Amino acid sequence: MLRTHNLGELNLENINENVTLSGWVQKSRDLGGMTFIDLRDRYGITQLVFNLETNSDLCLQARKLGREFVIQVSGRVIERSSKNKNIFTGEIEIEVNKLIILNPSKTPPFTIETNSDGGDELKMKYRYLDIRREPIKENLILRHKVSACTREYLNQEGFIEVETPYLIKSTPEGARDFIVPSRMNSQQFYALPQSPQTFKQLLMVAGMDKYYQIVKCFRDEDLRSDRQPEFTQIDCEMSFIEQEDILNTFEGLTRHILKKIKDVNIDKFPRMTYDTAMELYGSDKPDIRFEMKFVDLTNDCKGNDFIVFDKAEFIVGINVKEGSKFSRKEIDKLVDYVKSPQVGSSGLIYCKFNDDGTSKSSVDKFFDEKSRKKWAEQALCEKGDLLLIMSGEKEKTRKAMSALRLHMAELLNLRNPEEFAPLWVIDFPLLEWNEEANRYNAMHHPFTSPKKEDITKLENDPAAVRANAYDLVLNGNEIGGGSIRIHDKKLQKLMLKHLGFTDEQAQNQFGFLTEAFEYGAPPHGGVAFGFDRLCAILGGSESIRDFIAFPKNNSGRDIMIDSPSSIDRAQLDELNIKLK
């Protein structure tokens, strides 16, 4: 080893020991006859001291070291005169007697500090320098810990990690596949998996009983700011279980992670049906760290000659506690917000309930004090509260109000990243209407089982059929989702028919799965967690990119290695493909 200790482990107990250390020069300060250098590695920072009087050669050498030089030093651990109690090594320093430059460094394009000066593009290009920064480094270590304690729990519970293949078959499971031309099988293609869904189900047919895998998945989608073409899933499946068993097992996993990673103890996770979530929060992934539930005002608002309300399918309010202090200007901004393209609403009605007991709304022309009192009763508004009301087509209005609710929480600082509020959302609809294709899609995926009591509705009222499907929501983000699968060949065929697959298409794409179901498939179900998202939330961030070692940008490019890139003609020739 080029060191006897790392840079985060020496303290007063090591006084007078002779040590050898290696690391990066974080910063250097000349104070009178002394030069101090902060030497950094993954584990911490240790202060080096060089004395111009007692060892001028060495000190002069040290003064020439630039930021990010890699050096090795030997010396004696001594007590510091000015101590830094904030770091573990802050009470000691190293009186250096030997210095070796292991590798010089050009000046990095941005500072290696917690708050750095580089822009996003620059940091992506020099990702290996960005990772040296404390926050990114800590994110990657957090990710490692989350995966380690995920495995710890699942191994303990008798799950077997099985690797499923990456070179599989293209099946339109929802998003576009990345495809891989085969050289040995000319004009044929593999696809990269969007998830190991079919393989984990086959592992259940194979009797593996409890499977998991922390695994990369691939989707060739147009990237939104927080999507990656390759992402990681905690993928799980169990046999001989019912929905209740899955919920308990993975609630256990999540509890274990929250305890181990954040030292947060959460008892039983609350559960909510999809219908209730939509009704109370206008979202299937409500953030329940704060209240501000929807109040249906449809009946209370009609018939006062306010045409906007009168013609609205749906009128909904939220009570912003202590919101009456919002100024006119601030409320105008809220109106601007709901009218912005990302929310797309046509307007916002407000009603302030003042401290003196009076109220004031933007529609006082139509609604008198008495009407406004009625609103207050409905929405449990008290003195000092602010009622925000939106109206229109039901689904759209709910969505807009959900956005506004989160926006208000943001403004009022109600979304504490160090608070963790998990929630099971259950009883999802089986199908969702696809406008474009003019048919139903599987809301979860084609292998999700309908609730037994709803199967008869498949023919005449498909939208009302509920699925044995569930999502785990954490702080308003879907971190996991799953379902009890269909294990019966006949039911699977019926489902595929309802999803618009012809027999031939179904056979082509899922034939191996439906055939497998004929050889004694056990009842089974599972769940998959979005691992990148989970890590981000645990790290107190909304963005997954900083929790991925080498992420891609919004065009799917890795700027650091400059990929994708063009390819030799010869390579394409071998694959029997050509560019258009």
- The interface with a copy of itself within residues 154-173 (CB under 8 A) comprises 155, 160-170
Confirm if 189 and 179 have CB atoms less than 8 A apart.
yes
By CB under 8 A, what part of segment 515-574 binds a copy of itself? Answer: 516-523, 548-550, 552, 555-558, 560-567, 571, 573-574
What does the block give as tokens for 121? 């593009």
Choice from 15, 179, 380, 464 touching a copy of itself (CB under 8 A) = 179
Judged by CB under 8 A, the stretch of 132-140, 264-272, 348-356, 403-411 that binds a copy of itself is 132-140
Among 224, 370, 452, 578, binds a copy of itself (CB under 8 A): 578
- The DSSP code for 546 is G
> What tokens appear for 122 in the block?
């620059």
Give the integer Cα–Cα distance in Å for 106 and 221.
Answer: 38
Query: In the set 33, 240, 463, 569, which binds a copy of itself (CB under 8 A)?
Result: 240
CA-based angle 64:69:72, to the nearest 5? Answer: 95
Q: Which is nearer to a copy of itself, 14 or 170 (CB)?
A: 170
Angle at 311 between CA 310 and CA 313, to 5 degrees: 105
Give the nearest distance from C-beta 210 to a copy of itself in angstroms.
8
| The one segment of 49-57, 179-187, 312-320, 333-341 that binds a copy of itself by CB under 8 A | 179-187
Tell me whether residue 226 or residue 395 sits nearer to a copy of itself (CB atom).
Answer: 226
Cβ neighbours around 182 below 10 Å, total: 14
User: How far is residue 392 from each of residues 298, 302, 310, 316, measured CA to CA in Å?
Assistant: 10, 12, 10, 9
Closest-CA residue to 430 (of 464, 472, 453, 459): 464
Give the strand pairing for 439-442 and 179-181.
unpaired
Smallest distance, a copy of itself to C-beta of residue 38, A: 14
Tell me, by CB under 8 A, how many residues bind a copy of itself: 121
Please, what is the minimum distance in Å from the beta carbon of residue 504 to a copy of itself?
A: 14
Q: Is 108 in the site for a copy of itself (CB under 8 A)?
A: yes
- CA diameter of the chain: 93
Asked if 138 interacts with a copy of itself (CB under 8 A), we say no
Q: Which residues pair with 218 in a beta bridge?
A: 230
User: Which of 286, 284, 309 lies closest to 298 in space, CA to CA?
Assistant: 309
72 versus 298: smaller Cβ distance to a copy of itself: 72
State the Cα–Cα distance between residues 415 and 435, nearest whole angstrom: 34
CA 481 – CA 424 distance, rounded (Å): 9
Site string for a copy of itself, 181-200 (x = CB under 8 A): xxxxx-xxxxxx-----xx-
Q: What are phi and psi of 53, to 5 degrees?
A: -75, -50
**Closest distance of CB 443 from a copy of itself, Å:** 24
Residue 477 interacts with a copy of itself (CB under 8 A)?
no
Residue 416 near residue 290 (C-beta atoms within 8 A): no
Q: How many CA atoms lie within 13 Å of 186's alpha carbon, on the beta-carbon side?
A: 6
Nearer to a copy of itself, 34 or 160 (CB): 160
Nearer to a copy of itself, 364 or 503 (CB): 503
Q: Tell whether residue 6 is a contact of a copy of itself (CB under 8 A).
A: yes
Q: What is the closest distance, in whole angstroms, from the C-beta atom of residue 238 to a copy of itself in the complex?
A: 9
Give the shortest CB-230-to-a copy of itself separation in angstroms: 5
The distance of closest approach from Cβ of residue 27 to a copy of itself in the complex, given in angstroms and rounded to an integer, is 14
- For position 4 contacting a copy of itself by CB under 8 A, the verdict is no
229 forms part of the interface with a copy of itself (CB under 8 A): yes
509 alpha carbon, distance to own chain's centre: 30
Q: Which is nearer to a copy of itself, 304 or 505 (CB)?
A: 505
Closer by beta carbon to a copy of itself, 126 or else 314 = 126
Residue closer to a copy of itself by CB (options 73, 414) is 73
Q: Does the footprint of a copy of itself cover residue 407 (CB under 8 A)?
A: no
How far is residue 169's CA from residue 191's CA, in Å, rounded to a whole number? 5
Least distance (Å) between residue 512 CB and a copy of itself = 5
Min dist. Cβ of residue 152 to a copy of itself (A): 9
Spell out the residues 6+ positions from residue 566 whose beta carbon is closer than 8 angstroms to its own: none
Site string for a copy of itself, 33-72 (x = CB under 8 A): -------xxxx------------------------xxx-x
Q: Which is nearer to a copy of itself, 212 or 290 (CB)?
A: 212
235 binds a copy of itself (CB under 8 A): no
Q: Which stretch binds a copy of itself (CB under 8 A): 78-86, 218-226, 275-283, 425-433?
A: 218-226
CB 172 within 8 A of CB 509: yes
How does DSSP assign 450-492, residue by residue? BPGGGTTHHHH-GGG-BBSEEEEEETTEEEEEEEEBP--HHHH
Among 15, 18, 64, 104, the residue binding a copy of itself under the rule CB under 8 A is 104
CA distance 181 to 183: 6
Return the residue of 10, 24, 403, 528 that touches a copy of itself, per CB under 8 A.
Answer: 24
Helices (H), 118-273: 120-125, 127-130, 134-156, 197-205, 243-262
Q: How many Cα atoms occupy the beta-carbon half-sphere of 248 within 13 Å?
A: 6
When binding is defined by CB under 8 A, the residue of 114, 346, 434, 576 that contacts a copy of itself is 576
DSSP string, 374-435: HHHHHHT--TT-EEEEEEESHHHHHHHHHHHHHHHHHHTT---TT---EEEEE--BSEEEET
Q: Which is nearer to a copy of itself, 452 or 578 (CB)?
A: 578
Rounded Cα–Cα distance for residues 467 and 525 (Å): 12
Q: Is 103 in the site for a copy of itself (CB under 8 A)?
A: yes
